[in-house]
Amino acid sequence: MTTHQPPQTVRANGIDICYEIFGNDNAEPLLLIMGLGAQMIHWDDGFCEQLAARGFRVIRFDNRDIGKSSHLTGGKRLTPLELLKLRFLRIPVAAPYKLIDMARDTIGLMDALGIKSAHLVGASMGGMIAQEVTLSFPERVRSLTSIMSTTGNPRIPPPTREAAAMLMAPPPQSKEEFIVRFGQTWKVLRAGSFPEEEALDPGRAERVFARGLNPAGVGRQLRAVLASGSRKERLHSVKTPTLVIHGTVDPLVRPEGGKDTAASIPGAKLLMIEGMGHALPMRFWPEIIAAIDKHAHGAAAKAA
């Protein structure tokens, strides 16, 4: 039976960060960094417990502007015009903060918890943050696992029309509308038939809603991603053991994003998961958890 500490809040990098820990205090520390607009509970409890059972001290947390962490201010809703300027004229989007600031949040949390270095696992925007931590604070990272993420390289194919439309849709106005939208969103992101996930979506949506929504914060996070530019060239210098995991049918961050990440980092391992979209459905957990376990413990053994 792995231990589980209830959520707590700590001051880090000038903001409050809500975090939760699964596993034993003396196990290998492993930080899970979630994606755009996604609370820490999008790392399913069961997923965290299974990683903890493999000998990790698993720490999940709400990024700034989401869930129970500090909500910031500023930044207007992103316009299609700004996106067109970014895509065709390479004019960067203005942003109240960038991915490097979110990387500093991660380091601040590690400092607050007394963790000198940890294994980082990031999904989507979380993968971008994990890459940024690895680039800017390499001595703090034991291993990097970048899941369904990308380098910021503008040549990567854009999201499918359906996935892009979902990202730009106005926020739901009521709890009922949110629950319906949640189900629709994840159906698009999973890009396949996952009845076992769809059955759980209403309960998951209730839990997310209860922890609090912050549509303006999601907009600021999206600006942070778009304002941070490409990491591709910088990633050539990474010496941290790296694993890249990506789904073959990802509609949001296309499979090329994962392939580009692996190609940009010397010695990176690439695991393409057949039939996986932009989500972590339970049916893929055994393969994903086994890969993270082998990668992180392998890196730890080499460093010892």
Q: Say how far residue 29 (Cα) sits from the centre of its chain.
A: 17
The pLDDT value given to residue 1:
58
Q: What are phi and psi of 189, to 5 degrees?
A: -70, -35
Per-chain mean pLDDT for the chain? 94
SS3 282: helix
Question: Is the pLDDT confidence value at 77 over 80?
Answer: no
CB–CB of 43/34 below 8 Å?
yes
Asked if the model's pLDDT at residue 27 lies above 90, the reply is yes
| Residue whose token pair is 């930080």 | 31
17 by Cβ neighbours in 10 Å (0-12 / 13-18 / 19+) ranks as buried
Helix/strand/coil for 50? helix
> What confidence category does residue 2 fall into, taking pLDDT thresholds of 50, 70 and 90?
low
Phi, psi of 147 (to 5 degrees): -110, 135
pLDDT of residue 93: 80
Q: Tell me which of 242 and 76 has the higher pLDDT.
A: 242
pLDDT at 47 over 80: yes
DSSP assignment letter at 41: G
Put simply, whether the predicted model's pTM sits higher than 0.75 gets the answer yes
Range 74-85 average pLDDT: 74
Q: Please choose, from the candidates 172, 234, 211, the residue with its C-alpha nearest in 3D space to the C-alpha of residue 40.
A: 211
Report whether pLDDT(29) > 70. Answer: yes
Percent of all residues in the chain with a pLDDT value above 70, rounded to a whole number: 98
Only one residue has tokens 């390289």, namely 153
* pLDDT of the residue at 304: 73
Half-sphere exposure of 72 (CA within 13 A, CB side): 21
Label residue 303 by pLDDT band (50, 70, 90): confident
Average pLDDT over residues 99-108: 98
Q: Helix 125-136 to helix 215-227 angle, to the nearest 10 degrees? A: 50
DSSP H helical segments within 11-98, as ranges? 45-53, 80-84
Bridge partners, 45 (sequence order): none
| Amino acid of residue 276 | M
Residue 276: CB atoms within 10 Å: 25
**Residue position matching structure tokens 């034993």:** 24
**Residue 235 burial (CB count, 10 A):** 24
Which candidate, 125, 137, 139, places its Cα nearest to that of 32? 125
Mean pLDDT (whole number) for 233-245: 98
According to the model, what pLDDT value does residue 102 have? 98
DSSP 89: I
> Would you state the pLDDT for residue 241?
98
Amino acid type, 295: H
pLDDT value at 156 more than 80: yes
- The band of 135, judged by pLDDT with boundaries at 50, 70 and 90, is very high
